[in-house]
Amino acid sequence: MKPKLVEPAPPLAQIESDLDALLRDGKPIRRDFGNGNRLHMDRPLPFLCVHVGSHQDAAFHAASANASYLIATDIGLAREAARLVVRRLRDHCGAFLMLDIGELAEDRFLTEDVPFLPPFEIALACGDTAAEKAALKRFATAASAREAKYRTPRVDELNPTTRAEARLLDDLGDAACLTVRFAPIYRVPGTKRVYPELHDLVVANMVDSALQAVSAFLKASRLEQPATHRSLGRRAYIDAVVRADRAIDNVASTFDFLLAVTPINAEPAWLEFQAGAFERVPVLLYRPLEFEVAGQKRKLYSVSLDHLEDPLLTTLLSQKQQELDLQLSMLAARETPRFVELGRALYGSVEPSLAARARTILERLPPVASAARQTGLGADAVAAAARDMIAGYRAAYPDFDASVEIRGDLPAGLLVSRNRLLVSRDTNLPPERLTALLSHEIGVHLLTYFNGDAQGLAIFRNGLAGYEGMQEGLAVLAEYLVGGMTAARLRLIAARVIACQAMLEGATFEETFRILHRDFGLDDRGAFNVVLRVYRGGGLAKDAIYLRGMVQVLDHLKDGGSLTPFWIGKISAAHFGAIQELNARGLLRAPRLEPAFLSSDAARPRLKKAMAGIDPIDMVET
């Protein structure tokens, strides 16, 4: 006998089974039916975004960016599947809104008197209930308030012809429905090409407006509104996001940018510079790269970000991709004039206001006597204290798996590389600076690495693009909160800004040394250490971010901002809104750890003072 073939379950039967699992067990639905048909629901939600038609248009991406969507190439399947979802979820949620999202056939010029950048059309329709009308009104208001860049939207009702094409509205019976059609303004006229940036802006506008419409619908239905409409967004990473994040992390983990641009012969270089009466630039030596830059760039841009179904995460990963590309370009250009300009692109120039603030600090705080360079704590003592502090964090969070290494190929001081704290063999640290420095490196840099590692995506432990300024600002704040902000330390941070400005304006190594030593009173070894950091690799503009980040943190506190979001992982001030949205959507966990120094009796009055508003120079305690 021939084996009996088992017929596959029809799509509606599969959907019915999936909905049972969703409502009974909270199991997400991601059901593909072939031919591009898909139902996705990451949790029971009171809405479903539906798109019928092409997978190549912005409406497809606007629908599939939501936590609950149905993509169908066939109107019949869309109708039956939508009815089934509406019936089950309306009973479960108390009310349910269908959003039928599509595009108009063409981009019509709505006015004759605007030769450039005429408004573009968004057409809406809904049923007769008060809740549906509230959803339409909110969508119209939200969409009209957001410029799509180059073109502003104008919202009208669907015309009779288009309404006849939008059949879901009339096919769903008594189901609440909002139909959205928008002009394809992102397409290059007369071609199949698109303007990518404009496409992404249109998608973001449609997604945000749709979620606002759902929120208004729930309010009009007398159901509980979400705290923010953004909390109706995705609460799970799809596999494509996880794969892209992992692939970008694989590239990032092949190199440590700062180690690669840090000289391995700092002490011999100092002796050479000193022997030459501070007039000849010392020879600086660097670690050879253990990878091919071009090869890593190919890997980096082989990571596709086209199907992540989440505009915000796509943006964050794309920005990180570009930052890594720039870092790789800099490593390829070490010790060449291009290195400086690439560094300017990565870290920015020194703005006049920041330079003026740095000069004020150096002029108002007296130079530190050279006696401060007496013998202090060596590498072994610092490493032992670091291991003790790490053990305290590990006791609270066992996954705080940090290591401490003493290295002979680093300038004096400490450096964090991913989950490692590197201590230079030449370290000579004043005892009163120990707690401050360890709070800086362990309490901020390592803590945010491990908190970020717990978020589910590596980008939060490696750092969102441009995160370093805020990280260093928080780390310097930590030094102040534990009582370790000395005049010498603040002068050093200010001197780095002056050195960066001089370097970017074309001053030589020895000229910048003279500016710091003769004009601002740094002792010869201190001035050399600053200049060495700024001219490493060929000229690195990074060191201006310490003072800049400190000012950003103090302004944030003065404006009533909380520090808690910054412990989630390595983020920048520019990403504060993105972090708030991801929090609202439930995609981020609360920090596993907060810095130990925040709970100390010594830190509380200083934090209160900072929240009231202070200048960096007020952080110095006499």
| Whether 214 and 348 share a structural domain | no
**Pick from 232, 261, 277: which residue ends a domain?**
232
Q: Could you tell me the pLDDT band of residue 105, with boundaries at 50, 70 and 90?
A: confident
Q: Does the structure show a pLDDT above 80 at 151?
A: no
Q: Give the pLDDT confidence score for residue 460 in this predicted structure.
A: 97
Q: Does the structure show a pLDDT above 90 at 157?
A: no
Q: Give the pLDDT confidence score for residue 109 in this predicted structure.
A: 63
Q: Could you tell me the pLDDT band of residue 36, with boundaries at 50, 70 and 90?
A: confident
Q: Residues 159-193: pLDDT tens digits?
A: 766 665 666 666 677 889 999 999 998 888 888 89
**Pick from 202, 232, 262: which residue ends a domain?**
232
Q: Residues 442-501: pLDDT tens digits?
A: 999 999 999 999 999 999 999 999 999 999 999 999 999 999 999 999 999 999 999 999
Percentage of the chain exceeding pLDDT 70: 93
From the list 243, 214, 246, 230, the residue with the least C-alpha distance to 311 is 230
Q: Give the pLDDT confidence score for residue 3 in this predicted structure.
A: 47
- Residue 39 vs residue 156, higher pLDDT: 39
Q: Could you tell me the pLDDT band of residue 4, with boundaries at 50, 70 and 90?
A: very low
Domains identified in the chain, total number = 2
Does residue 100 form part of some domain?
Answer: yes
Does residue 446 form part of some domain?
Answer: yes
Q: Residues 531-554: pLDDT tens digits?
A: 999 999 999 999 999 999 999 999
| Whether 215 and 348 share a structural domain | no
| Whether 355 and 216 share a structural domain | no
Token look-up 């840099």 returns 445
Q: Give the pLDDT confidence score for residue 150 in this predicted structure.
A: 66
Does residue 26 form part of some domain?
Answer: yes
What is the mean predicted confidence (pLDDT) over 292-310? 95
What is the mean predicted confidence (pLDDT) over 197-220? 94
DSSP lists the bridge partners of residue 459 as: none
Q: Does the structure show a pLDDT above 60 at 8?
A: no
| Whether 580 and 447 share a structural domain | yes
Q: How far is 476 from 441, CA to CA, in rounded Å?
A: 10
CATH of the domain at 195: 3.40.630
| Whether 228 and 361 share a structural domain | no
Does residue 401 form part of some domain?
Answer: no
| Whether 209 and 349 share a structural domain | no
Does residue 393 form part of some domain?
Answer: no
Strands 153-157 and 120-126: parallel
**Pick from 232, 255, 284: which residue ends a domain?**
232
Q: Residues 66-80: pLDDT tens digits?
A: 999 999 988 888 888
Q: Give the pLDDT confidence score for residue 5 in this predicted structure.
A: 42
Computed over every residue of the chain, the mean pLDDT equals 91
Q: Give the pLDDT confidence score for residue 76 in this predicted structure.
A: 85
Full residue range of the structural domain in which residue 559 is found:
337-368+433-618
Taking only Cα atoms into account, the Rg of the chain, rounded to an integer number of angstroms, comes to 29
In sequence order, what are the residues at sequence separation of 6 or more whose Cβ sits closer than 8 angstroms to the Cβ of residue 362? 491, 494, 495, 498, 520, 521
Q: Does the structure show a pLDDT above 50 at 514?
A: yes
Collapsing DSSP to helix, strand or coil, 176 comes out as strand
| Whether 227 and 341 share a structural domain | no
Q: Residues 306-365: pLDDT tens digits?
A: 889 999 999 999 999 999 999 999 999 999 999 999 999 999 999 999 999 999 999 999
Q: Give the pLDDT confidence score for residue 163 in this predicted structure.
A: 61
Q: Give the pLDDT confidence score for residue 6 in this predicted structure.
A: 41
Q: Quick check: 221 and 158 in contact, CB under 8 A?
A: no
| Whether 361 and 491 share a structural domain | yes
Q: How far is 380 from 425, CA to CA, in rounded Å?
A: 8
Q: Give the pLDDT confidence score for residue 622 in this predicted structure.
A: 64
Does residue 80 form part of some domain?
Answer: yes
| Whether 227 and 345 share a structural domain | no
Q: How far is 315 from 322, CA to CA, in rounded Å?
A: 11
End-to-end CA, the chain:
95
Q: Could you tell me the pLDDT band of residue 372, with boundaries at 50, 70 and 90?
A: very low
Joined tokens for residue 369: 């006597």
Q: Residues 559-605: pLDDT tens digits?
A: 999 999 999 999 998 998 899 999 999 999 999 999 999 998 989 99
Does residue 1 form part of some domain?
Answer: no
Give pairs for 531-536: CB < 8 Å, separation 24+. Answer: 531/499, 532/263, 532/266, 532/269, 532/270, 532/284, 532/411, 533/411, 533/496, 533/499, 534/496, 534/499, 534/500, 534/503, 535/284, 535/503, 535/509, 536/261, 536/262, 536/263, 536/284
Does residue 226 form part of some domain?
Answer: yes
| Whether 161 and 21 share a structural domain | yes
Angle, helices 311-332/293-301, rounded to nearest 10 degrees: 170
| Whether 451 and 575 share a structural domain | yes
